Structure 1
Amino acid sequence: MTEDALPEEFVNTWLQGPFAPADQEVTAYDLEVTGKIPAELEDGRLLRVGPNPVDQRNPVTYNWFTGNGMLHGVRIRDGKAEWYRSRLVRDDEVARSRGLPRLPGPEQLGGGAQYVADNIVNTHTFAHAGKTWAFAEAGVLPVELSYELECLAKSDFAGTLNGSWTGHPHRDPRSGELHGMSYYHGWQHVSYQVVDTTGKVRRTVDVPTPGRPVVHDFALTQRYAVFLDGPVNYADELLRAGYDFPFLWDFEYPTRWVLIPRDGTAGEPVSVEPISVEVERWAVFHILGAYDRPDGQVALVGASYDQLFVTDHTGPGEKPGTLNLFLIDPKTGRTKVEILDDQPQEMPRMDDRITGDKFRYGYFSSRDQGISTLIKRDFDAPAKETYAYGPGRFGMEAVFVPRTPDAAEDDGWLMTYVTDMTTRTADVVILHAQDLAAGPVASIHIPHRVPIGFHGNWIPDSELEEQRARLG
């Protein structure tokens, strides 16, 4: 999209409607609940983060990916919704706008896009090494948070991070380590990094790339860490033109999957080089999961786009995507692609306990022709179920929480934030994953609107306690 081609009054949809930023931080106590919060949801917090620009942005150059981060959290204790909090992540722009001191901590990688220079953190929330974190990517440093979502400091994982982390890490459920795939527009490589349970990077593998691609998500199998070296690439001309997100579709880019062999135990050396496997030109920002097949191939399922950021640089709305299965063959160096579903769906989640193994179920967020639904897909049947949130209501990424630690896959709860444009309020909706048709078992009512955003997690207090116990 060029300014010459713009209508006189260009409307950026990512600054409007359910995406419009909230204008203040909020604290609300003793939230009203319809239904009953499941007893299995022990004390904890449902956290998420998303873009919430604090100052007026140029609608032509603003991209949804680059808005200042705002955290949202609901605290559950003893079957009650104790509080809701929304807090801005105190990046440098927020500090200037609000007259606050800069957040302490190391300096991020220098220069480039403004959201990188200001260390804007808006993409994910995690508990790791006994701390609560907000994460972003592309040269942006992690931010440590208090239990009440106040920003404490920027971090480079005690000096072990190479300057860039990821907005979409994955935890190995066996080791408890956090894996990430990092990129930065000043690099011509992608870094695979493993953060141990003490919160330090113990392994880094740099994979050279022919361009400077966006690598938002990746996948873990038992054998590999897998990322797409894909066609959405850094474009210096967009940065010079003032666009917030200086990446666009490269029609000539030699797209490939890269399989990085994993080590078996902490500190074990790996001598096998990364493997490149050709694939058609797809962009895959979010991956449900991947696993190793007995025939040596890797099966990977992801939300996929055959064109993105060609003419529209405001957000991922240029063309609807599809849900694809990629069969990646390291022996032949080729990938077979199967379109599983052409209904637009994004923000995939699964049972994190089986990360790296074969999964049966996936949960997706869909906004198709103005209707917002939660999709559950059974890959063995194959079949899908849906739950519609209702007129004027928009759901976000649904987090799966197992009913008990040893419950079967899909035996648990789906938790998601839902923003209601008819009332300018929001809910945390809790559904049983095995009975979407029954509707919510509980709805926690938030007396303020929550903008549609990115990622989050259910973090039980016991998870933080277990992580701290590992640290001794």
Structure 2
Amino acid sequence: MALPFPDVPFLSGFEEPCRFEGKVFDLVVNGFLPRSIDGTFFRVMPDPLLSPAYFQDGTHYIPFDGDGNVSAFRIRDGHVDFQQAYVQTERLKKEKSKRASMWGRYRNPFTAHPCVRAAIESTANTNVVFFNGKLLALKENGLPYAMNPDTLETLGYYDFEGQITSKTFTAHPKFDPKTGEMVCWGYEAKANATTDCCYFAFGKDGKKTEECWFKSPFCGFIHDAAMTDDYLILMLCPLVTDLERLKEKQTHWVYDYNLPVHFGVIPRRGSDPSKVRWFKWKNGFPTHTANATQVKGSNGGTKLIMDSVLVYGNALPFFPEVNVPENLKPENLKISMVRWEIDMLASSSIPTIKDPKILFDEVSEFPSIDDRFVSRAQKYIFCGVTIPDAVTPDGKSLVGLGALNALAKVDCQTGKAEICHVGPDTIVQEPVFAPRSKDAVEGDGFVICLVNRLDKMASDLIVVDTRSFADGPMAVVNLPFRLRQGLHGNWVDASDMA
């Protein structure tokens, strides 16, 4: 008999596990979907198939845990078909065979059952990207799992035909629209709690083009990065770990308010670790990037410009904290969209960079751009945003990083934003952008986003025309059930899949 799920915040209410696999033909569409939208919106959510109560009571459960469950919304000729399937990871298959959870705390193998400690821990639950004919389900403590993009069948744990020497792979690879390369990295790349990092890139034919091994200043969280023509810029956040913590069966991560955030700049060509440079700033947590570009500075050197979300403190409060300032209150943490400048001519070993410029001074997350303009100076960023006066049906405020309730189209040149309201009692998930055509101007197209209807306990897919962004969704596609909060996803044009 399957154990019930514990009544804890990340496993109850709208976040109760869905545990659904299957298809829904021709979803109901309210509004209009133009024929120019032809492709698939892929996304993934952590969705535990079995209760974690076997080894723990659920009090240590965090929203990043759970088995990867991939959704595919296939849009063509104004119709939308839906399909969903679990990534058949080694972890999931072992737990299914035992009909019980076998892993304990998040990313701590010392809390797993002894019989699975040598198994691949990855849940493949953070992002899904399409590359070289395969759909790759990603979790940054392991390599990808490859899936068939048409059937969502899991093809297996994927090391690019033996080309990857790193044990880990980012959940946010970057795609170069000029070369077709997929640019990647791994941290804790040789083992848990090590400072070993690896940068690698693959050509559009799937062949590895670059690899560089190097060390980070400390063992921390490197979730996202941004790319220019010549550099990859990593964001090393002060969310740290060490082997003793893991052996003591504690959480993998702890946020240290005494550590500055570091930015690692890796040349995209060459394998010399001495060419990797680190820059630092005050304590803070840059969560996700929008884009980056490089320009000539007034001193004649190269200046890197990068846009990201910045939280002035711990963005993930379900992880413990150390060295917390006495006057810090979680509700007072500032969250902004900012622009960083990194001067490559700075002379000290780990230079301190200047305070970033604020692009958009509102609570926002999940920045997305027109991916045809990666590494170029983009004008628009699309993101989820919190409208402070929004409340839940029982009158509770939705303000907070996990309660984005509208979409924003931010003009990076003016700092002004158009707001798209998506309805009452609603939380938005990550928006993605689909261009109107291959040759459309930057930002001309559609924003596609899954939303949580809290009052109806159901999910909708919304489509917003960027030409009339503030008018609200042009189409609302109804799902007949609820999909819990996902992490990341991507739009894949039908011509690219073909």
**Which residue is equivalent to 2:51?**
56
**In the TM superposition, what are the counterparts of 1:391-410 in structure 2 within 5 Å?**
391-410=424-443
The runs of 5 or more residues in structure 2 that have no matched partner are: 1-5, 100-106, 322-329, 389-396, 399-403
- Residue 142, structure 1, aligned to residue 122, structure 2: no
Is the CA contact 1:306–1:321 (under 8 Å) kept in the aligned structure 2?
Answer: yes
Is the CA contact 1:48–1:457 (under 8 Å) kept in the aligned structure 2?
Answer: yes
Task: Give the Å deviation of 1:241.
Answer: 5.1
Cα distance in 2 between the residues matched to 1:459 and 1:355: 16
**In the TM superposition, what are the counterparts of 1:288-303 in structure 2 within 5 Å?**
288-295=290-297, 296-303=302-309
Greater CA deviation, 302-311 or 24-33? Answer: 302-311
Is the CA contact 1:277–1:329 (under 8 Å) kept in the aligned structure 2?
Answer: no
**In the TM superposition, what are the counterparts of 1:314-353 in structure 2 within 5 Å?**
319=333, 321-332=335-346, 333-337=351-355, 338-353=357-372
Cα distance in 2 between the residues matched to 1:239 and 1:149: 34
Partner of 1:14, secondary structure, is helix
Structure 2 residue identity aligned to 1:147 = D
Aligned with 1:251 (options 252, 257, 273) = 257
The runs of 5 or more residues in structure 1 that have no matched partner are: 1-9, 102-108, 466-472
Partner of 1:449, secondary structure, is coil
Cα distance in 1 between the residues matched to 2:491 and 2:381: 17
**Which residue is equivalent to 1:181?**
185
**Measured at CA, do residues 430 and 229 of structure 1 come closer, stay the same or move farther in structure 2, by a change above 3 Å?**
same
Is the CA contact 1:45–1:74 (under 8 Å) kept in the aligned structure 2?
Answer: yes
Cα distance in 2 between the residues matched to 1:78 and 1:219: 34
**In the TM superposition, what are the counterparts of 1:4-403 in structure 2 within 5 Å?**
12-42=8-38, 44-57=39-52, 58-81=57-80, 83-99=81-97, 111=109, 117-162=120-165, 163-184=167-188, 185-236=192-243, 238-240=245-247, 242-243=249-250, 246-253=252-259, 255-263=261-269, 273-295=275-297, 296-308=302-314, 312-313=318-319, 319=333, 321-332=335-346, 333-337=351-355, 338-367=357-386, 369-370=397-398, 372-403=405-436
**Measured at CA, do residues 345 and 314 of structure 1 come closer, stay the same or move farther in structure 2, by a change above 3 Å?**
farther
Structure 2 residue identity aligned to 1:132 = L
Task: Give the Å deviation of 1:389.
Answer: 1.9
**Measured at CA, do residues 13 and 366 of structure 1 come closer, stay the same or move farther in structure 2, by a change above 3 Å?**
farther
Deviations 1:60-91 (A, max 9, x none): 2112222211111111222211x211211122
Is the CA contact 1:139–1:183 (under 8 Å) kept in the aligned structure 2?
Answer: no
Partner of 1:297, secondary structure, is strand
Deviations 1:229-283 (A, max 9, x none): 331112445534545x5111123435421111223xxxx7779711222222222
Task: Give the Å deviation of 1:358.
Answer: 0.6
TM-score normalised per structure 1: 0.86
Task: Give the Å deviation of 1:158.
Answer: 0.6
Deviations 1:174-198 (A, max 9, x none): 1111111211234312211102222
Greater CA deviation, 57-66 or 139-148? Answer: 139-148
**Measured at CA, do residues 251 and 381 of structure 1 come closer, stay the same or move farther in structure 2, by a change above 3 Å?**
closer
Partner of 1:99, secondary structure, is helix
Deviations 1:43-64 (A, max 9, x none): x211100111222234321122
Cα distance in 1 between the residues matched to 2:139 and 2:41: 18
Is the CA contact 2:122–2:141 (under 8 Å) kept in the aligned structure 1?
Answer: no
Is the CA contact 2:193–2:243 (under 8 Å) kept in the aligned structure 1?
Answer: no
Aligned with 1:440 (options 470, 473, 486) = 473
Structure 2 residue identity aligned to 1:308 = N
Is the CA contact 1:134–1:145 (under 8 Å) kept in the aligned structure 2?
Answer: no
**Measured at CA, do residues 164 and 130 of structure 1 come closer, stay the same or move farther in structure 2, by a change above 3 Å?**
same
**Measured at CA, do residues 271 and 72 of structure 1 come closer, stay the same or move farther in structure 2, by a change above 3 Å?**
closer
Aligned with 2:450 (options 417, 438, 442) = 417
Structure 2 residue identity aligned to 1:462 = S
Task: Give the Å deviation of 1:113.
Answer: 7.1
**In the TM superposition, what are the counterparts of 1:430-469 in structure 2 within 5 Å?**
430-465=463-498
How many percent identity over aligned positions?
24
Cα distance in 2 between the residues matched to 1:89 and 1:153: 9
Cα distance in 2 between the residues matched to 1:391 and 1:134: 32
Cα distance in 2 between the residues matched to 1:61 and 1:84: 33
**Measured at CA, do residues 11 and 305 of structure 1 come closer, stay the same or move farther in structure 2, by a change above 3 Å?**
farther
Cα distance in 1 between the residues matched to 2:64 and 2:278: 28
Deviations 1:189-208 (A, max 9, x none): 22111022222333111221
Task: Give the Å deviation of 1:464.
Answer: 2.1
Partner of 1:290, secondary structure, is strand
Cα distance in 2 between the residues matched to 1:274 and 1:68: 35
Cα distance in 2 between the residues matched to 1:212 and 1:286: 19
Cα distance in 2 between the residues matched to 1:349 and 1:311: 24
Cα distance in 1 between the residues matched to 2:442 and 2:98: 46
Q: Give the CA RMSD over aligned residues.
A: 2.8
Partner of 1:312, secondary structure, is coil
Structure 2 residue identity aligned to 1:76 = I
Structure 1 residue identity aligned to 2:182 = L
Cα distance in 1 between the residues matched to 2:472 and 2:258: 47
* Higher RCO (C-alpha 8 Å, min separation 6): 1
Is the CA contact 1:394–1:452 (under 8 Å) kept in the aligned structure 2?
Answer: no
TM-score normalised per structure 2: 0.82
Task: Give the Å deviation of 1:38.
Answer: 1.6
**Measured at CA, do residues 425 and 62 of structure 1 come closer, stay the same or move farther in structure 2, by a change above 3 Å?**
same
